[in-house]
Amino acid sequence: MKTDSIPAPVQAPRQSAAAPGINVKQIFTQYKILALLVAIALIWAFFSWKTDGGFTSARNLSNLMRQMSITGILACGMVFVIIAGEIDLSVGSLLGLLGGLAAVLDVTHGMPLPLSIAVVLGAGLMLGFLNGFLTAYAGIPSFIVGLGGMLAYRGVVLGLTDGATVAPVSPEMEQLGQAYLPPSLGIALGVGLFVLAGVLAWRQRASQAKHNLPVIALWRSVFRVALVGVVLAGLISTFNSYEGIPLPVLILLVLLGVFSYIARQTVFGRRIYAVGSNMEATRLSGINVKAVKLWIFGLMGLMCALAGLINTARLAAGSPSAGVSGELDVIAACFIGGTSMRGGAGTVHGALVGALVMASLDNGMSMLDVDTYWQMIVKGLILTLAVWMDVVTRSGRR
Residue 288 placed within a domain? yes
Same domain, 99 and 195: no
Q: Which residues contact 243 (CB under 8 A, 6 or more apart)?
A: 62, 180
What residues in the chain have per-residue pLDDT under 50?
A: 1-22, 24, 397-398
Residue 378 burial (C-beta neighbours within 10 Å; 0-12, 13-18, 19+)? middle
Q: Which residues contact 170 (CB under 8 A, 6 or more apart)?
A: 106, 107, 113
Residue 7, CA distances (Å) to 4, 29, 287, 393 in order: 8, 18, 13, 18
pLDDT tens digit string along 6-15?
Answer: 444 444 444 4
Same domain, 303 and 207: no
Residue 16 placed within a domain? no
- Specify the amino acid at residue 175: Q
Give the domain-ending residue among 243, 258, 274: 243
Same domain, 341 and 285: yes
Residue 1, CA distances (Å) to 159, 285, 289, 344 in order: 53, 12, 19, 22
What's the pTM value of the predicted model, to 2 decimals?
A: 0.85
Give the domain-ending residue among 243, 277, 312: 243
Number of neighbouring beta carbons within 10 Å of residue 394: 17
pLDDT at 74: 93
Same domain, 312 and 163: yes
Give the number of domains in the chain. 2
- Which H or E run contains 245? strand 245-246
Q: Decide: 309 and 120 in contact? Cβ < 8 Å.
A: yes
Same domain, 199 and 271: no
Residue 12 placed within a domain? no
pLDDT tens digit string along 218-242?
Answer: 787 888 888 888 888 888 888 888 8
Domain that holds residue 210: 183-243
Residue 347 placed within a domain? yes
Q: With pLDDT > 90 as the criterion, what percentage of the chain qualifies?
A: 24
pLDDT tens digit string along 369-387?
Answer: 888 888 888 888 887 877 7
CATH code, domain with 334: 1.10.3470
Residue 159 placed within a domain? yes
pLDDT at 23: 52
pLDDT at 22: 45
pLDDT at 169: 86
